[in-house]
Amino acid sequence: MSTADPNRPPVMHDVAQLAGVSHQTVSRVLNDHPSVRPATRERVENAIAQLGYRRNSTARALATRATNTIGVITVDAAEYGPSRTLVSIEAAARAAAYRVHFVSVPGTDAEHLGEALEYLIAASVDGLIAVAPLQGAARSLQGLRTTIPLVEVTILDPATGRPSGVAVDQVSGAAAATNLLLGLGHRTVVHLAGPPQWLDTAARIRGWRQALATGGRPVLPTLTGDWSAASGYVAGRQLTGQVAGGQISAVFVANDQMALGVMSAMHDAGLQVPGDVSVVGFDDIPEAEFFHPALTTVRQDFAEIGRRCIAQMLCLLEGRAPAAQPPIETPIIVRASIGPPPARAR
């Protein structure tokens, strides 16, 4: 039983005493150290909750010169993917008793990223996480040098097949979406891609092309949008004639907002989804299941991205190399927006 003085805030020693573990074990739990057994972790977490313990970050900073703050550099944070990634990183950091200092960069060149890096280092952050989904930003980051730990959110490296930083296997997700449509009997699949400067765009095009090539299916020219529903609507209007004529019966769209625009364009042209054309999106935004019809889409696990970012950062802060992990999987969530092709398209 704890002998903590009820008139003072609980300290780490009180947590250790109540949980029946060492002071070092409590520290490891607070820092999400992987070597703690699940049962021990649970006892410590229960003791923390029972005592209402809060880490004294000021005392820790004085003792270790650490600030318990992680700097995050991001580009184009207004888009759904980057914004959800930031939210997930902040949540995972908070669970590990760290604060997050965000800086949104207006450009992708080395100068803008370097200024953000200098600003965060001056703010005495313990480490840096870069959410840079644009090709220019990724190249600029490679040229920057920093003396503090850096974790990058990226995609699967197509050259090595191994992720650099925390990676999402968007190529496999795009290929699976395309194969799902081909398996329903569609002759081929049209792709509405995102902006060309995005790494996500290139990865999803690559997966779509791989699936068509493997199946020996024709590869039609891609359309390009800007991630917005409005651009999806414009692209959808360009496809309505081919859908009505039976040349096209399936569309894989690079994100859910553009997929919404495509579906709206089909509706306005008197075409049915999925009766006349099947539509698959990417991301699985919270609204996707409430589209009419509900959207089949590829899910990105943003919570897992955040957890892996912080887990890798904690390893680096402790002077350890993070364990190699496979890219985060992107499963397909099947809903009502897909079906077999109409008879005229077979």
- What are the residue boundaries of the structural domains of the chain, listed by start? 12-54, 63-156, 170-300+332-345
Neighbour order of strands in the sheet with 190-193: 223-224, 190-193, 250-253, 278-283, 296-299, 332-333
CATH number, domain 63-156, options 3.40.50.2300, 3.40.50.300, 3.10.180.10, 2.120.10.30: 3.40.50.2300
State how far the Cα of 250 lies from the Cα of 248, in Å rounded to an integer: 6
What confidence score (pLDDT) does residue 156 get? 56
| pLDDT on residue 137 | 60
pLDDT < 50 positions in the chain: 1-3, 56-64, 157-163
Listing from the earlier edge strand, what are the strands of the sheet with 166-168? Answer: 99-105, 69-75, 127-131, 150-155, 166-168
Does this chain's domain 12-54 share its CATH topology with 170-300+332-345?
no
For residue 140, the model assigns a pLDDT of 63
Cis ω on the peptide bond leading into residue 163 (within 30° of 0)?
no
**Predicted local distance difference test score (pLDDT) of residue 27:** 73
What pLDDT, on a 0 to 100 scale, did the predictor assign at position 193? 98
Contact 175, 211 (CB under 8 A): yes
Among positive and negative, which fits the CA dihedral 209, 211, 214, 218? Answer: negative
Write down the pTM of the prediction: 0.76
Name the class of domain 170-300+332-345: alpha beta
Decide yes or no: CATH 3.40.50.2000 for domain 12-54: no
CB 174 within 8 A of CB 282: yes
